[in-house]
A = this chain, B = another copy of it.
């Protein structure tokens, strides 16, 4: 179904009213990580329930042991209409340092951004209140203009995304039947630039491991014992150095099991995005891609698995010098996973790899820090084609398929717990300063984001 013109015109004529609603929501300081704002979080949830109810959703605040969830349901035009779950979050990041804000973070306003374009300024403008309201407004316009929604919808708004989502998995598990839909729509990603929409088709998974190498039963004087006693920093350095070969490939046996080569046409489309080693690395003061040789920086960060040491410590690291041989040394190591790499198989292979490098009179202990598989929406998915077409109709430039090096845990949870793939569409821009002072959301993102969702809902109904 293509979107009726009346839906789009309803959105256009209702822009000011939609901004009023967004500003009402943004004025509620729903900072989830600070207990001082617990009541505000609930107030934001209640505001959303009321707003969704006004559109025709059956909506409710659902208690958890932390901040509440908002769950809302709306029937589709027919019993066999496709059913989608939309996910967003109503909580926001803290605002300190407050003195760096140009205007009060909870008094949103329209102003002219550094680009010369109009922006919505305030905490939550982009992450995630502005984004989630693009979807809510699209629903409102469909209902107002046509009297119905084009598909059955469930909405899940979380209030703990910025504080680790402790209640999310238990809530998904306890309400799996209610929340399960054909597909999830997640609006927590961004555009390539302000004219080019993007669909994120891949998210790397993550495995975290902390290893501690234990040698002598106490710290030793390196003069008295150096040369005879095992040094755990040496052992650890050898382990970490062994993780990559001279070509930057990870050497853990079986590491590349389940890793697919990215299709040539996808790689070619990424090459057109203009993010070369020069531009991508120059911004961070580097010049030479450090990972697997012969691959572009976008392939390396979007579609290849990695091992990165995120922290290392051992011995004396204070000012000056201490001639000590430490009793232990430790490192935090994370793996970014792609495609069908198995987090737990990889963790086991890593532990074997490490153990094989520990001398017989030393030992190693491990601590797990989470594990989640990668997300990969098949490049030939019909939903992907529909989403692309809808975005192509709205924006000046054709949509691009991108991937993300990082993880969005909810997408993995939807897949593993509810068996749902996700379509990841969002209208944020890289300079939105989410989590920082002077967060903003482009006014065009808000306006054309609403129209985009209106088009996508129409496309997905077919």
Seen from chain A, the residues whose Cβ lies within 8 Å of a Cβ on chain B are 204, 206, 208, 210, 215-218, 220-231, 233-234, 236-238, 240-244, 277, 280-281, 284-292, 297, 300-301, 304-306, 308-317, 320-326, 329-332, 334, 336, 359-362, 369-370, 404-407
Given A230-B286, A313-B314, 5 more contacts at CB 8 Å?
A: A225-B301, A226-B336, A234-B308, A310-B324, A311-B315
A227 touches B336 (CB 8 A): yes
- Measured between beta carbons, the chain B residues less than 8 angstroms from A284 are 216-218, 220, 225, 229
Q: With A and B bound together, what is the CA distance between A334 and B326 in angstroms?
A: 13
- Measured between beta carbons, the chain B residues less than 8 angstroms from A359 are 288, 290
* Distance in Å: Cβ of A352 to nearest Cβ of chain B: 19
Partner of A323, one of B210, B277, B289, B334: B334
B309 touches A237 (CB 8 A): yes
A226 touches B306 (CB 8 A): yes
24 pairs from A and B in contact (CB 8 Å cutoff): A206-B323, A217-B284, A217-B285, A223-B406, A225-B301, A225-B405, A226-B291, A226-B308, A227-B291, A227-B306, A228-B277, A228-B280, A229-B284, A230-B286, A234-B309, A240-B241, A241-B241, A308-B325, A310-B325, A311-B315, A321-B370, A322-B332, A323-B334, A323-B406
> Assuming A310-B325, A315-B312, A320-B369, is B361 touching A288 (CB within 8 A)?
yes
Look across to chain B and name the residue whose beta carbon is closest to the beta carbon of A332. Answer: B321
Q: With A and B bound together, what is the CA distance between A223 and B208 in angstroms?
A: 12
Q: With A and B bound together, what is the CA distance between A288 and B221 in angstroms?
A: 18
Q: With A and B bound together, what is the CA distance between A208 and B228 in angstroms?
A: 19
Partner of A301, one of B206, B227, B306: B227
Q: With A and B bound together, what is the CA distance between A233 and B224 in angstroms?
A: 28
* Distance in Å: Cβ of A438 to nearest Cβ of chain B: 19
Look across to chain B and name the residue whose beta carbon is closest to the beta carbon of A363. Answer: B285
Look across to chain B and name the residue whose beta carbon is closest to the beta carbon of A309. Answer: B233
Q: With A and B bound together, what is the CA distance between A61 and B313 in angstroms?
A: 47
A285 touches B323 (CB 8 A): no
A323 touches B310 (CB 8 A): yes
Partner of A312, one of B241, B291, B306, B329: B329
* Distance in Å: Cβ of A301 to nearest Cβ of chain B: 5
A332 touches B309 (CB 8 A): no
B405 touches A226 (CB 8 A): yes
- Measured between beta carbons, the chain B residues less than 8 angstroms from A222 are 306, 308, 310, 334, 336
- Measured between beta carbons, the chain B residues less than 8 angstroms from A287 are 360-361
